[in-house]
Amino acid sequence: MIKLTQIKKSFGRNEVLKGIDLTVEKGEVVAILGPSGSGKTTLLRCLNYLEKPNEGQITIDDFTVNCKRPDKKDIHTLRQKSAMVFQQYNLFKHKTALENVMEGLVIVKKLPKEDARKKSVELLEKVGLGNKLNAYPSELSGGQQQRVGIARALALNPEVILFDEPTSALDPELVGEVLAVIRKIAKEGITMIIVTHEMGFAQDVANHVVFMDGGVIVEEGKPNEIFNYPKEERTKQFLKRITPEGVYSI
């Protein structure tokens, strides 16, 4: 279970997160929606401590970090409980697809190389890249790179996988293959938090939808509630603008 309590974050004078409370149950797939600048990516990055929240508490699976005075060790432990899939993939460019996935297993989890390799090959096959094990990121398409990124995140067996707009940097043609992979792992009961602009996908895959604007959570609930019967005016506005002809599906 993941619990965020009163997470606050400012960049200089600009308050990006104004006290976020959020609870995510185990196995839940949460989609965070909202306009640009609403703080959704910052929230996700705070969870992995890539941004330091100024205040609040982060609890992942009985491990709590108080963001006011976090210990270096606490941050390290917290990071090991989550994994991130980035908008720009952020693969290690000097390592092959296989090495990218193995890296965390060998260096962080201290797995013997053979075991790490076996597990990594399995995962890359799962994301449909069994034939690209020895390709460098520069030899892969965006969609393929992102799938390696997902395999790399899966490899660590994290409590939660954080997706930061995983398809925003992709060619429209390649979005489908990445979404298909996310859909597949969502079915396996892995806890996921996804920041996305793919409304149809969010409605389809998520069990819980969070709508953020201006650094606060405006509304949250079941996908059906949020998409079809939004209560808040701001949510209605946003959805209307995003899906002018009703919700589309991919």
Q: Which residues pair with 219 in a beta bridge?
A: 211
CB of 193 to other proteins, least distance (A): 13
For residue 143, the tally of other CB atoms under 10 A from its CB is 22
Least distance in angstroms from the C-beta of 183 to other proteins:
22
CB of 187 vs other proteins, minimal distance in Å: 23
Q: Give the residue with the Cβ less far from other proteins, 85 or 239.
A: 85
Question: Do 82 and 47 form a contact (C-beta atoms < 8 A)?
Answer: yes
Give the Cβ contact number of residue 124 at 10 Å.
25
Nearer to other proteins, 48 or 203 (CB): 48
Rounded CA gap, 114 and 129, in Å? 19
Give CA–CA dist 191/20, Å, rounded: 19
Q: Which is nearer to other proteins, 49 or 211 (CB)?
A: 49
* Least distance between other proteins and beta carbon 174 (Å): 19
Least distance from C-beta 97 to other proteins, angstroms?
Answer: 11
Whichever of 106 and 247 has its CB closer to other proteins, that residue is 106
How far out from the chain centre does Cα 153 lie? 10
Q: Closest by alpha carbon to 48, among 89, 84, 92, 24?
A: 84
**Closest CB 103 distance from other proteins, rounded Å:** 7
Residues in contact with other proteins by CB under 8 A are 48-50, 76, 79-80, 82-84, 86, 88, 90-96, 103-104, 107-109, 136-139, 149, 152-153, 156
104 versus 230: smaller Cβ distance to other proteins = 104
Burial tier of 127 (Cβ tally within 10 Å: 0-12, 13-18, 19+): buried
What φ, ψ does residue 71 adopt, rounded to 5°? -85, 145
d(CA 146, CA 164): 11
Tokens of 207: 């069990």
| Nearer CB in complex with other proteins: 77/237 | 77
